[in-house]
Amino acid sequence: MASTLLSVNILRSLFCVLGCLMTATLIYTIVTDGLPFRKELLIPWMTTTLIDFYIIVVAIAAWIAYKESNLISAVVWIILLVCLGSITTCAYVVVQLFKLSSQEASQDPMYYVLVRYNSKDDIERKRKFSSVVAARIAFMALSCLMLGALIYTLLTDGSPFRTELLIPWMKALLVDFYIHIVAMSVWVIYKESSSLSAFIWIILFICLGSFTVCTYIVIQLFQLSSQDPLYLVLLNSRSRRKGD
């Protein structure tokens, strides 16, 4: 119990720090380099990185849309996510962590952070109107989109490992992007029963970004039947039994 409570406090602190880091990065970049809404910033690798970034935003937005029972609240959070990126992600995660009761925090905090509170009737409706197949198709399409963008940019603009690409807004975008990778990595650590497996996936996330994230989500979706409620993809095998 004590270790679980400690992990909750660590996660709260982690996402608070990451949110502050991104806020500081955003303010610093605006002050030193101006606003990002400039055509000259859209160099090929910046465009590809934006695609990479927003594919992960889609995944997080899907979770928020499920998590929020109020449509207006979900829309507001998603708009903030699109506009402010990982600042919103960190804020949302911290809010969810602080909503945990002491009992929830001591039992299975990740379950209660990830899953919306539902009645049995609501769960049954989710079973009936499952969208597992649609989600598989959507994330496979996003994975292919990212792979295509990556290959195209490599062929037309060369390697991304060039110092001239590290303009201020590219650096800020990379910070934003990798904060999201941290969030996805926390989820993978929760999902994977093997530390080695989690480590390999996290390395792939770092190297290949949203392509690997989408691939991971698709693999998890194929572990569900088409009749399962979609939210079960969020949970590890132990918590799925609780969600059933």
Q: Where are the domains of the chain?
A: 2-243
Distance CA 198, CA 191 (A): 8
pLDDT of residue 122: 47
Classify residue 160 by burial, with Cβ atoms within 10 Å: 0-12, 13-18, 19+. Answer: middle
pLDDT of residue 211: 97
Question: Which residues have a Cβ under 8 Å from the Cβ of 115 and sit 6 or more positions away?
Answer: 67, 231, 234, 235, 243
Distance CA 138, CA 221 (A): 11
pLDDT of residue 215: 97
Please report, in tens digits, the pLDDT of each residue of the chain (244 residues total). 545 656 889 999 999 999 999 999 999 999 999 999 999 999 999 999 999 999 999 999 999 999 998 999 999 999 999 999 999 999 999 999 999 988 888 888 999 999 987 634 444 444 444 589 999 999 999 999 999 999 999 999 999 999 999 999 999 999 999 999 999 999 999 999 999 999 999 999 999 999 999 999 999 999 999 888 999 999 987 776 654 5
pLDDT of residue 242: 57
pTM above 0.95, yes or no: no
Kindly state the tokens that stand for 13.
Answer: 């602190």
Distance CA 30, CA 27 (A): 5
Buried b vs exposed e over 167-176: b needs ≥16 C-beta within 10 Å?
A: bbbbebbebb
CA angle 157, 160, 164 (to 5 degrees): 90
Q: Check: CB of residue 56 under 8 Å from CB of residue 205.
A: no
Buried b vs exposed e over 140-159: b needs ≥16 C-beta within 10 Å?
A: eebbebbeebbeebeeeeee
| Residue 53 to residues 11, 50, 168, 170, 206, Cα–Cα distance (Å) | 22, 5, 16, 12, 12
